Chains A and B, each alone.
Chain A
């Protein structure tokens, strides 16, 4: 593979992975934007999505793309199930309370998954076409996953800017008391926002499983949470579009920094890319303390 192909491949794979990162962060940002709660259990919800796709595929042979509605539904229900008994009580509590509560939610899901499905690393093999793009070989499933991620983002946008619910949510974000005064049921808006946020998060877990259908296990969430935090902060916490663009940048950066690092003698490039990505975050925060798109 000549160098040009390496560059094309790097950019292509980086961008696709970035789109997945982007959608995987959108739910986190939404929940923070509306409820002002940082969901530390974020990655565990993605894990549920990955398992959803895995089980529907291995048990029923369901096309992974078609598992997406199920993931959204499961996510929405999980969101409501956690909102009323747990999240609702910690919205106005000190930050530590909500951090602990969401952390506990993550642990609960993780351990439940381990008890139900063991801690085995699982994977599946969805046979789809292989494409050649600019001399780079790629599975169509990756393109499909990225396409679906964009679709989800669109859905997200439509809900926010083209529906009455979206208007109400934005009103609550701008001014809670004001929203109450004009008759918006703030509690219900919170519940719905949390539910939508979790639905998108679980669905992004499904997309991740389509993108990379191996390594599915109860503890896969930890690193996903970490990356989502970095991306959310980079994009400006609470900004969904910002999260998405930051995700793409992060994916690109991870891959491009690899190519740059290969030029340095005596360095293990892949071990260092994460370091580079976090350095990028530091630099961005130095220049724009509220993130790329934060206000």
Chain B
């Protein structure tokens, strides 16, 4: 009896030791791979791999890793005659703001990374930004469309995503270029900070382009019936209706526009139409409705169609897809994963850094930050260029997606478009 229990104890102890050793190794594992001898530039990234942003976080990470792998296989980044390989050091922030703060500090003070890529979401980036800025470490903010982050006077934070204030400007550009007779714009938006930023940005831009804003009103966040506000909107007889907020209200907005037979040449709604659920809920009524997106599978950006003043930089879309798939399969065991805009944005962050390093010719943070001001590149993610003062993204355009017979296509900007637009929108009554 006694000997059995002794053996048992011994086995248990052994198992615990083995498990502990394995755990130590596993915990060390996420921190990037070891390179071969060359000089390295280490990028740090707190990113959500668990918690509410786990899906978007993982996408951003795989996107960033895909581009890093592409760059390293091309022979690395050439900085002032020297060649550097990129290495990414990341930790799971658990979608938790407090973790973001401590991990950002850890990456800067203990891991001594050279540059930072932000976590996913505006909220978490808001937590990381002041720490990066205070420590003088340049942070490329991906996954964050907030304008507010860039109104804090940070010197070392630059943006990848199109900020909220320009979410609906692509729709206006599209109409301006397509139809000189469309003049009257109605803007209807959800009453919250982000949607208000979007609406205000759209209003200013519409007036700049010579449109007439004939309706500009908001609805409460938990709205369940938009009939009264839409009846008033109809009275203003707009050519274009833009706005929205989030999924539920966007769905309601489209549904009730159709119900009340309020017709416009273009309807562009935030967030909701970008999701497949939108078509499930609306059926053929969804056809022709447009939406802004940072990026989408199917965009046609290519080195052959580079807008004036910009130069092509980084992998082509096909190359990005290839590296994305390989990273997703080999390092995350995800078969058949397709990149979302989060992934493309994560990759674009790495490209901005690489290009700025090349332009600066040194790895010195201030020089790289300065070089970033002159960066003007076209990538698989679209155009990238920042406002020198604030770091706000001013080059990247939202693409304009449109539902056509149950599929999503891209109709704007011209260098990204993969289909002819349906314009003007046929009347709702013809859609049943």
Chain A contact residues, CB within 8 Å of chain B: 1-3, 6, 9-10, 13, 17, 120-125, 127, 130, 136-139, 142, 212-215, 217, 220, 223, 254-255, 258-259, 262, 268-271, 273-274
Contacts and interface: CB of A to CB of B under 8 A. Distances in A.
A274 B223 CA distance: 10
Contact of A13 (B217, B227, B283): B227
B285 interface: yes
A166 B217 CA distance: 49
B189 to A, nearest CB: 10
A151 B232 CA distance: 32
Given A6-B231, A212-B224, A270-B229, A137 B277 contact: no
A270 B219 contact: yes
A254 B220 CA distance: 13
B41 interface: no
Contact of A269 (B217, B259, B282, B285): B217
B235 interface: yes
Contacts of A212: 224-225, 252, 255
Given A269-B229, A273-B228, A122 B220 contact: no
A255 B277 contact: no
Interface centre among B224, B228, B432 (most CB of A within 10 A): B228
Contacts of A271: 191, 218-220
Nearest to B431: A127
Interface of B: 191, 217-220, 222-229, 231-232, 234-235, 237, 247-248, 251-252, 255, 259-261, 277, 280-285, 429, 432
Contact of A9 (B222, B231, B282, B285): B231
Nearest to B272: A121
Given A120-B277, A127-B432, A270-B223, A214 B255 contact: yes
Nearest to B191: A271
A221 B214 CA distance: 35
A212 B281 CA distance: 11
A259 B230 CA distance: 11
B281 A214 contact: yes
Contact of B281 (A1, A123, A139, A259): A123
B218 A223 contact: no
Contact of A268 (B217, B248, B429): B217
Nearest to B219: A270
A220 to B, nearest CB: 8
B232 A262 contact: yes
Nearest to A215: B248
Nearest to B246: A121
Contact of B251 (A127, A137, A215): A215
Contacts of A9: 227, 231, 260
What 5 pairs across the A-B complex have the smallest Cβ distances? Answer: A123-B281, A258-B228, A125-B283, A137-B261, A270-B219
A273 B222 CA distance: 13
Contacts of B217: 268-270
A110 B195 CA distance: 28
Contact of B234 (A1, A17, A220, A255): A1
Nearest to B281: A123
B144 to A, nearest CB: 24
Nearest to A12: B227
A274 B220 CA distance: 10
Contact of A121 (B229, B251, B284): B251
A220 B21 CA distance: 49
B432 A255 contact: no
Interface centre among A13, A215, A258 (most CB of B within 10 A): A215
B228 A270 contact: yes
B248 A138 contact: no
B225 A17 contact: yes
Contact of A137 (B225, B228, B237, B259): B259
A130 B251 contact: no
A258 B220 CA distance: 13
A10 B228 contact: yes
Given A121-B248, A269-B217, A271-B219, A215 B259 contact: no
Contacts of B218: 268, 270-271
A254 B219 CA distance: 13
B282 A123 contact: yes
A6 B285 contact: no
A273 B429 CA distance: 30
Interface centre among A13, A125, A127, A262 (most CB of B within 10 A): A125
A123 B220 contact: no
Contacts of B223: 270
A1 B260 CA distance: 11
A135 to B, nearest CB: 11
B384 to A, nearest CB: 33
B228 A269 contact: yes
A1 B235 contact: yes
B252 A255 contact: no
Nearest to B235: A1
Contacts of B284: 125
19 contacts: A3-B235, A13-B228, A121-B251, A121-B281, A123-B282, A127-B432, A137-B261, A137-B429, A138-B259, A138-B260, A212-B224, A213-B281, A214-B252, A223-B224, A254-B225, A269-B229, A270-B218, A270-B226, A273-B228
Contacts of B251: 121, 123, 214-215
A96 to B, nearest CB: 27
Contacts of B248: 121, 214-215, 217
B70 to A, nearest CB: 35
Given A125-B281, A270-B223, A271-B218, A1 B231 contact: yes
